C-alpha cells in the first residue's frame, strides 16, 4: 500500500542529497568523495539508519553526487539505480560531461576536472524510461531528464521533484533559480524541465541551493 512519503534534505557541504522517507527509505544521490562520514551522520540525524536504505537513485555521474556510493555499497544492502549512461560511467569511476554554459563556468572546468574522479562502483538497476516507485510503497516515479548531462534522472513524488542539477541556485544567490552552469544539451534540458512541470511538480529540490517553486523554474524557459 502506498504511503505519503516525506522528502528530507541531507546537506553535505557544497551539495545536498535527499531521502524519500516512505515504508522504506530511499536515498537520492550520495554526496562528494570524502564526505562518507558526514553522509552517515546526517542520515542518522534525520532518523535514517544507512542499513535501512532500500534503494539509492543516482541523478547523474558527477563526483559531488556519486562520491559516497562505494561506501554505501560496502555498508548497506541498498540497490543502486541510475540511467544507462551513468551505469557505464560508474563502472570506471568516470565523470559525465563537464560542458560549461557561461564564461565563469568555463573558468571553473579545470578545477572541477581535478576532482572529477571517484571510486568505481557497479550499479544494480538500469533506468531507461520512467520507473515507478510503487514496489517501495511510494507513489512516485523516476524520470530521465537529460540536459545537464545526457544521463540525468529526476524523482517525482506527489507534487515535489528531486532534480539533482537540472536546476541550480544562481552563483552566490542559492535561493535564485538558475539554468545549471554546466549544460551538455540545452534543447534536451528545456524538454526535461517541461516534462517535470507537466507532471504537476510544484516544488523543486536541487543539489545546490533551492528549493524552488514551479513558477520560478518556469521563468527560466
Question: For the residues 68-81, what does the mean pLDDT come to?
Answer: 97
Could you give the strand order of the β-sheet that contains 212-213, starting from the edge strand earlier in sequence?
A: 131-132, 140-144, 153-157, 160-162, 203-205, 212-213
* CATH class entry, domain 6-94+122-218: alpha beta
Mean local confidence (pLDDT), 196-200: 98
Where are the domains positioned within the chain? 6-94+122-218
pLDDT interval class at 71 (50, 70, 90): very high
Q: What pLDDT, on a 0 to 100 scale, did the predictor assign at position 3?
A: 47
1 has pLDDT over 50: no
Neighbours of 93 (CB within 10 A): 18
How many CB atoms lie under 10 A from the CB of residue 98? 18
pLDDT at 190 over 70: yes
Residue 171 pLDDT grade (very low, low, confident, very high; cuts 50, 70, 90):
confident
Helix (H, G, I), strand (E, B) or coil at 25: strand
Distance of CA 66 to the CA centre of its chain: 9
Average pLDDT estimate for 175-195: 97
Q: Region 102-110: what's the mean pLDDT?
A: 91
Taking CA atoms, 130 is separated from 45, 120, 156, 157, in Å, by 31, 26, 10, 13
Most confident residue range from 113-117, 144-148, 173-177:
144-148
pLDDT range class, residue 4, cuts 50, 70, 90: confident
Instruction: Give pLDDT, residue 2.
Output: 46
Mean pLDDT of the chain: 95
Amino acid at each position: 500500500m502506498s504511503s505519503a512519503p516525506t522528502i528530507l534534505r541531507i546537506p553535505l557541504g557544497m551539495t545536498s542529497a535527499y531521502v524519500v522517507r516512505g515504508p522504506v527509505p530511499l536515498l537520492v544521490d550520495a554526496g562528494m568523495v570524502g564526505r562518507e562520514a558526514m553522509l552517515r551522520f546526517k542520515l542518522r540525524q534525520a532518523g535514517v539508519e544507512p542499513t535501512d536504505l532500500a534503494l539509492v537513485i543516482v541523478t547523474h555521474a558527477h563526483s559531488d553526487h556519486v562520491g559516497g556510493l562505494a561506501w554505501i555499497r560496502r555498508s548497506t544492502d541498498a540497490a543502486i539505480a541510475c540511467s544507462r549512461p551513468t551505469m557505464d560511467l560508474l563502472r570506471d569511476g568516470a565523470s559525465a560531461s563537464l560542458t560549461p554554459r557561461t564564461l565563469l563556468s568555463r573558468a571553473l572546468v579545470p578545477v572541477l576536472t581535478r576532482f572529477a574522479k571517484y571510486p568505481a562502483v557497479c550499479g544494480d538497476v538500469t533506468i531507461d524510461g520512467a520507473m515507478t516507485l510503487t514496489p517501495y510503497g511510494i507513489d512516485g516515479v523516476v524520470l530521465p531528464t537529460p540536459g545537464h548531462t545526457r544521463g540525468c534522472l529526476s524523482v517525482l513524488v506527489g507534487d515535489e521533484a528531486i532534480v539533482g542539477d537540472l536546476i541550480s541556485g544562481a552563483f552566490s544567490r542559492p535561493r535564485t533559480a538558475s539554468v545549471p552552469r554546466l549544460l551538455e544539451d540545452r534543447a534536451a534540458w528545456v524538454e526535461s524541465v517541461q516534462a517535470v512541470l507537466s507532471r504537476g511538480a510544484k516544488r523543486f529540490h536541487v543539489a545546490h541551493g533551492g528549493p524552488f517553486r514551479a513558477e520560478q523554474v518556469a521563468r527560466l524557459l
